[in-house]
Amino acid sequence: MTVFSKISAADAPEVQDALQIYTDSFPPNERHSADVIRDRLARGRYILIVGRVQEEVVFFALLWPLEGSEFVLLDYMATKSGYRRRGIGSAFLKRIPEMPELAHKFLVMEVENPGSGENREQRAKRVEFYRRQGAKELQGARYFMPGLCGGAPTEMILMVLPQYDEGKIDAMKVRQIVIQIYRELYNRDAGDGLLNSFVNEIAGCIRLI
């Protein structure tokens, strides 16, 4: 059984355990530095949840509540190698409604677009994992995550969990979510070139599929 708990102190030993899983699970162009993560924890902006199996930290999730919003970005989530495919990530997502900081909130996920080429199958499995948890894709809302540590941007799919407003979101609200993610997570303002290459294409009523 996995026991989940919130870690508030940036210097807690569990933070280092989580950072090791983080480094092992994500490529450099999709990672913030450890210093950035510790600073955000210290300022109370990140919510860090760890999962333990017999006192060993085997899972972590970093969540970012968007300011003044009903949406929370699930920025990172990963399970330690050797403990994957045991349902730990699924168990965490089912626990979210019980967490005071996340009750009555909606999770937004940036999930790498499967596309084609190398690792397509792995990326498709990740999208399917979130679908099995009930997450829905924002249809037609093209989105790119800026490259971190000097890397190239990555095309992503935006997904939301749980079901939102009978399966649709107004495009203006989606654009606001995207602009907030860019400003709060990536320190990029509304004039950013990458942001403006796609954000204004988000129009109409966005269906959740």
- CATH number of the domain enclosing 19: 3.40.630.30
Burial of 18 (0-12, 13-18, 19+ CB in 10 A): buried
Report the distance separating Cα 197 and Cα 202, nearest Å: 11
Q: Are residues 50 and 147 in the same domain?
A: no
- Average pLDDT, integer, range 198-207: 95
Query: Are residues 80 and 118 located together in one domain of the fold?
Result: no
Query: How many domains does the chain contain in total?
Result: 2
Total-model pTM? 0.93
In a domain, 141, yes or no: yes
**Any domain includes 96:** no
Q: Kindly give, in sequence order, each residue whose CB lies less than 8 Å from that of residue 103, ignoring residues fewer than 6 positions away.
A: 97
Domain range enclosing 9: 1-64+76-86
- At residue 78, does pLDDT exceed 90? yes
Q: Angle between the 13-25 and 34-42 helix axes, to the nearest 10 degrees?
A: 140
pLDDT at 2: 95
Q: pLDDT tens-digit profile of 101-160?
A: 888 899 999 999 998 567 788 889 999 999 999 999 999 999 999 988 777 899 999 999
Nearest to 26 by CA among 108, 119, 94, 90: 119
Average pLDDT over the chain, rounded to whole?
93
Question: Could you tell me which residues are beta bridge partners of residue 77?
Answer: 61
Instruction: Look at residue 100 and tell me if it is in a domain.
Output: no
3-state secondary structure of 193: helix
- Confidence at 189, pLDDT banded by 50, 70, 90: very high
Residue 28 pLDDT: 86
At 65, the pLDDT band (50, 70, 90 cuts) reads very high
Do 115 and 202 reside in the same domain of the chain? yes
Q: Which of the residue ranges 98-102, 106-110, 170-174, 201-205 would you say has the lowest mean pLDDT?
A: 98-102
Size of the chain, expressed as the number of residues it contains: 209
Stretch 13-40: mean pLDDT: 93
DSSP 133-175: TT-EEBTT--EEEPPSTT---EEEEEEEES--GGGEEEHHHHH
pLDDT given for residue 29 in this prediction: 81
- β-pair partners for 201: none
Would you state the pLDDT for residue 117?
64
Q: Are residues 124 and 187 in the same domain?
A: yes
> For residue 147, what pLDDT is reported?
87
* Predicted pLDDT of residue 116: 59
DSSP state of 17: H
- Would you say residue 99 lies in a domain? no
Same domain for 59 and 132? no
Yes or no: say if 65 and 101 are a contact pair by the CB < 8 Å rule: yes
